[in-house]
Amino acid sequence: MKQKILLPNKFKRIGWFILIPATLMGIVLMIIDLETIEINATVFAICSTKFIETQYFSFINTNIVSTLVGVLFIVGGLMVGFSREKNEDEYISSLRLNSLLWAVLINYILLLFAFLFIYGLSFVHVMIYNMFTTLVIFIVKFNYSLFRHSKTVSNEE
C-alpha cells in the first residue's frame, strides 16, 4: 500500500537538522527568561491582547523568538515524523499508525493528569508544552519501534 501523504525520505534528514537546534533553543528558552533574547518584528496577528486591550486582524510589534523556535520545532518534527522510510512497507506503516495512536493516547493521559493536578500559571505552561508533546512522543515511539524492528530482523538473519 503506497502512502501518498508521506514526505520523501530526504526530508527526514532536513527535519533532524531543523528539529535538534530548535529543541536545544527551546530548552534554553525554558531555562532562562524568555525576554532575555529579543528579536522584535512587526507581524500580522489575528488576535492580540496587550494588558486589557484586544486587537483583531492588526499588525503588532512583538518579540518573535518563541514563535520562531516553535515554528522551527513543528516544521522539523513534522518532517522527521512524516517522512517515508527508505524501505517503507505495510509493517512500517502499521508501526507508524500504532506509534501515532500511542502518542495521542499518552498525550491525553498526561493532559488529563494536568487538568486534575496543575493549576494557575503553571497550567498555562503545561498547555504550551502540550502543543508539542504529541509530536515528540510520536517521534520517540516510532523511532524506538523501528529500532526494535531492525534488531529483530538482524537477529533473524
* HEC readout, 5-69: CCECCHHHHHHHHHHHHHHHHHHHHHHCCHHHCCCEEEEEEEEEEECCEEEEEEEEEEECHHHHH
Regarding whether 76 and 39 lie in a shared domain, the answer is yes
Q: What is the mean pLDDT of residues 27-47?
A: 86
The three-class DSSP label of residue 75 is: helix
Same domain assignment for residues 99 and 140? yes
Q: How far apart are CA 113 and CA 110, in angstroms?
A: 5
Q: What is the pLDDT of residue 156?
A: 64
Pair 48, 97 in one domain: no
Arithmetic mean of pLDDT, 39-44 = 92
Q: pLDDT at position 31, please?
A: 87
Mean pLDDT of the chain: 90
pLDDT in tens, 63-80: 899 899 999 999 999 999
Please check whether residues 96 and 118 belong to one and the same domain.
yes
Does residue 44 register a pLDDT over 80? yes
Q: Are residues 140 and 120 in the same domain?
A: yes
In terms of domains, do 74 and 102 share one? no
Between CA 99 and CA 137 the distance in angstroms is 8
Same domain? 25 vs 68: yes
Residue 90 and residue 156 in one domain = yes
- Judged against a pLDDT cut of 70, whether residue 96 lies above it is answered with yes
Residues 34 and 90 in one domain: no
Give 106-154 pLDDT, tens digit per residue. Answer: 999 999 999 999 999 999 989 989 999 999 999 999 999 999 988 876 6
Show the domain range for 7.
1-84
pTM: 0.86
With 70 as the cut, is the pLDDT of residue 3 above it?
no
Q: Which long-range contacts (CB under 8 A, 24 or more apart) does 36-45 make?
A: 37/65, 38/63, 38/65, 39/63, 39/64, 39/65, 39/68, 40/64, 43/67
> Do residues 48 and 72 both lie within one domain?
yes
Of the residues 45, 65, 84, which one is the last residue of a structural domain?
Answer: 84
| Residue 68 sits in the same domain as residue 94 | no
Same domain, yes or no: 66 and 108 = no
Q: Please count the structural domains in the chain.
A: 2
Average pLDDT over residues 13-18: 96
The whole-number pLDDT of residue 2 equals 58
Identify the domain boundary among 61, 84, 107: 84
Q: Domain boundary residue among 59, 84, 109? A: 84
**Confidence (pLDDT) at 52:** 85
